[in-house]
Amino acid sequence: MRYSCTALAGTPAWRIERERLLPIEPRTRDLSISDILVNGPHSVYIERRGKLELTDIRFRDNAHLLAVIDRIVSRVGRRVDESSPMVDARLPDGSRVNAVIPPLALDGPVLSIRRFGTTLGPTDLVVNGAMTAEMLRFLAACVVSRLNILISGGTGSGKTTLLNLLTGLLPVQTGTVKVLGKPAREGNSDVAYMLARDCLLPWRTTLGNAMYGMEARGLLPGKEREKKAHHLLERVGLHGFADQYPKALSHGMRQRNALARTFCLDSPVLLMDEPFGALDAQTKLQLEDLLLDLWREHQKTVVFITHDLGEAVALSDRVMVMSARPGRIVADIKIDLPRPRSVRDLQKSHEFHEIYTEVWEVLEAGMKS
């Protein structure tokens, strides 16, 4: 069977529009739900307060589910079809959506939506036991000291929520969050944020995308802006690709472009949410070493989210481990490895594997607690 939205052909347009989101739409408005997991037209789960619940939600068939997926991802300018059977995107309300369809999904389309509820301020995190007051002060000191901080933990433990608090993308309801001594706020020029997805603008060239953040913030005159972007593109290995559009770039090249755009902002604090998580092993190693080189040159504070413990140990000065839900910081591990570093060389060292084992044991204990 060919999976496409044309499977609903013959159905009145008004009915298609009404039915496309009808099965799950009420759940997307329920603030107590953190995850919606659709494993097939008749297998829909929700996660509420850390517990999975099987629902009575039903789609007519795989074609109906595919129509819902297409409707959701098209809202953010993405597409999903046989030539591009997997999509990972962020919805306008900040929710994450991931969908996989045939031929990649062998048993039919699947969909997950990670929702972010109302936010907690730092006082709430301390009161609820997610972190101690000492840990909160320590985070502020790390930013001032320009350390590389790796945050690791299981899915749903609150890693991205922590970054969103630091950027000001999530409003603080009680207490305060400060970056470099100032309240966290959206649009803070002291912070640059690199997401897992490259977010390149398809109508801009590689050079245009590298300059976009500087243009949006009004940084530097035009010629100086272009010169800086050219320099960073050369540093990330995209010399000669300045006039190419995103569709002509590989996934690894697109992430290099996003990395150049992030460093072009010259913000003292860089927040990176699993930027290399979707790359193949070789490209990932190359970009990890590139990030270490750029950090050595620019000396920024980097707060880096990752599920990869090897990446956490290799890139950081400290690894902060978060437990399973309800997410809380269960360990702060100092990474006593010399700099400058090479990820490939580190992985051959005995010290690296000792620290890796320590982090893994702490993470495993935290997931069970």
Helix and strand counts by DSSP (H, E) for the chain: 13, 14
pLDDT tens readout for residues 7-40: 333 444 434 444 445 677 777 777 778 788 888 8
Average pLDDT over residues 278-295: 84
Task: Identify the residue with better confidence: 149 or 178.
Answer: 149
User: If DSSP codes are grouped into helix, strand and coil, which group holds residue 1?
Assistant: coil
Pairwise CA distance, residues 120 & 107, whole Å: 39
pLDDT number for residue 152? 66
Tell whether the model's pLDDT for residue 2 goes beyond 50: no
By C-alpha distance, which of 335, 288, 286 is closest to 313? 335
| pLDDT > 70: percent of the chain | 74
Among 11-20, 180-189, 282-291, whose mean pLDDT is lowest?
11-20
- Indicate the residue type of 156: G
Tell whether the model's pLDDT for residue 206 goes beyond 90: yes
By C-alpha distance, which of 194, 197, 201 is closest to 247? 201
Average pLDDT over residues 129-152: 70
Pairwise CA distance, residues 170 & 183, whole Å: 12
Report yes or no: 89 and 72 within 8 Å, Cβ to Cβ. Answer: no
pLDDT number for residue 15? 41
Q: Is 29 left (phi over 0), alpha (psi -120 to 50) or beta?
A: alpha
pLDDT number for residue 366? 61
Pairwise CA distance, residues 137 & 125, whole Å: 13
Domains of the chain: 5-114 (3.30.450.90), 122-368 (3.40.50.300)
In this prediction, residue 116 has a pLDDT band, given cuts at 50, 70 and 90, of: low
Average pLDDT over residues 149-163: 66
Task: Identify the residue with better confidence: 256 or 136.
Answer: 256
Which pTM was predicted?
0.53
pLDDT number for residue 245? 93
pLDDT number for residue 179? 56
In this prediction, residue 157 has a pLDDT band, given cuts at 50, 70 and 90, of: low
pLDDT number for residue 229? 93
Average pLDDT over residues 122-130: 67
Whole-angstrom CA distances from 80 to 49, 202, 244 are 31, 16, 23
